[in-house]
Each structure stands twice: as C-alpha cells, then as structure tokens.
C-alpha cells in the first residue's frame, strides 16, 4: 500500500549557526550526542534499582530481582523505558530531572534536555542518503519526513529498510535517543498481541505516543534476537 504524501516535521529553534558542510554537521551532531549522553547518565542516577528491575521484567530481561541478560547492551532498552516513559498517573524521570536541572535557558544543555523531553518513538522507513549528512526517512506512523543524523545508521542502512527508534530533534536534524530495533513486517502480529485491544481503534500517531508501544516493540525485538543484528558503536569511531 502506498504511503500518503509526507509532511515535514516542525523544526525546533536552533541554538547556534547552521553548519554548511558535512564535517560541520557531523561535528555538531557529535557535540550534541555527547551532551545527550551526559544528560542520560544524570537522569539515570535518579532512577531506583527497583524501577529498572520492573522495566527489565516487563521486557523479559529479569526474573524476580535477577537480571537475565544475554548481552549487557540489552540494558539500553531498560534505560530508555525508565527515562522516557511512565504510567499516566506518574511523571517521567526525564521530566523530574528537568525540574531540578539548573541550566541557562539559552545553553546547549537546556536545548538538548528540552528536545529529549519532546522525543517521539517512531518507526522509520529509510529512503535515501541526505545530501549533507545522514539519512532521509519517513516516520510511517505520523506520516512525516525526518532528517536523521546518525553515523552508524548512515553507514549500515539502505533505502527500503525499517527501524524503530526514539527520535530527539534539537534542531533541523533528528538524532536517536540511543536505542534502535531493526523492524520487520513479521513483527506486527506478535506486536499487536502485546498491545491492549482498544489501542487498535486509535490513530497511528497516538499509538506511537503510548508508552506501551515502545515497550512492546522492544520486547518483540529482544525475543527475536535483536542484539544479534546490532552493534552499538562510539560515533566518533565512524566519522
């Protein structure tokens, strides 16, 4: 089935001068990636071990109080859910951290923190290489265009491939929040079985925004051996 015409995502305010070359965009990406890494580490300090274990159990990565990991990188999925999701009656860890953080309103740290709070979980259809750097993709659940800047994905993904990820958009380009799941059509049936039946009547964009959707995608991906198809690399190694 053909996708409807895509619409461009709104672009947040850019905190600095726009680079004009590939090297410039990559340098800006790496700088913002390093800031986001530090922010993630700070947010994780405020999350209890019991909370992490709860998310790990829901993903099938723990029994009782014992982690059952095949690969330590599987914890990234736990961290993502613990930082960015919460039940409707609870606040998210990223929002609680933002209330206590003391960054200048015009600082890059505040820019990244605001972008992280506004992050969106998405399934992306990779279309082609971007003329400057990164990839052009379609968020198929929101019917919108995405300029994805990620050096690892740029070098490993081809047009027509699908990936599920959490998008952080600090400026004209989007970045991943840190975790990815190669997505395949065969994952749809087990994914739908994990979601509440009433979600089937919701708009696709609302389903993507529901915290249970990301959890279900991660659970299906982990059950299918997602870590066998992924390698997390230091972005600086790929520039």
pLDDT per residue over 23-43, tens digit each? 999 999 999 999 999 999 999
Q: What is the pLDDT of residue 237?
A: 40
Domain ranges of the chain: 21-238
Q: What is the pLDDT of residue 17?
A: 61
Separate counts of helices (H) and strands (E) for the chain: 9, 8
- pTM score, two decimals? 0.87
3-state helix, strand and coil shares in percent for the chain, rounded to the nearest 5:
45, 20, 35
SS3 205: helix
Q: What is the pLDDT of residue 201?
A: 67
Give the residue with greater pLDDT, 232 vs 56: 56
Nearest to 180 by CA among 193, 194, 161: 161
Q: What is the pLDDT of residue 210?
A: 92
Local confidence band at 197 (pLDDT 50, 70, 90 cut-offs): confident
SS (H, E, C) 180-202: EEEECHHHHHHHHHHCCHHHHHC
Q: What is the pLDDT of residue 44?
A: 97
């Amino acid at each position: 089935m053909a996708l409807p015409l895509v619409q461009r995502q709104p672009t947040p305010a850019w905190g600095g001068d726009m680079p004009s070359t590939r090297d410039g965009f990559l340098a800006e990406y790496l700088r913002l990636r390093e800031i986001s890494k530090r922010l993630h580490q700070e947010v994780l300090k405020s999350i209890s071990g019991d909370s992490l274990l709860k998310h790990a159990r829901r993903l099938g990565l723990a029994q009782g109080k014992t982690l059952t990991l095949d690969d330590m990188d599987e914890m990234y999925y736990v961290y993502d859910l613990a930082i960015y999701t919460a039940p409707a009656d609870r606040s998210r860890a990223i929002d609680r951290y933002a209330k206590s953080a003391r960054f200048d309103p015009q600082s890059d740290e505040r820019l990244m923190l605001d972008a992280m709070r506004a992050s969106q979980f998405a399934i992306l259809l990779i279309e082609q290489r971007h003329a400057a750097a990164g990839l052009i993709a379609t968020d198929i659940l929101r019917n919108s265009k995405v300029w994805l800047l990620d050096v690892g994905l740029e070098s490993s993904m081809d047009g027509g491939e699908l990936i599920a990820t959490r998008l952080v958009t600090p400026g004209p380009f989007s970045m991943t929040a840190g975790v990815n799941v190669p997505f395949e059509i065969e994952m749809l049936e087990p994914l739908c079985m994990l979601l509440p039946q009433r979600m089937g009547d919701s708009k696709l964009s609302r389903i993507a925004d529901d915290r249970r959707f990301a959890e279900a995608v991660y659970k299906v991906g982990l059950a299918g051996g997602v870590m066998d198809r992924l390698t997390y690399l230091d972005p600086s190694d790929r520039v």
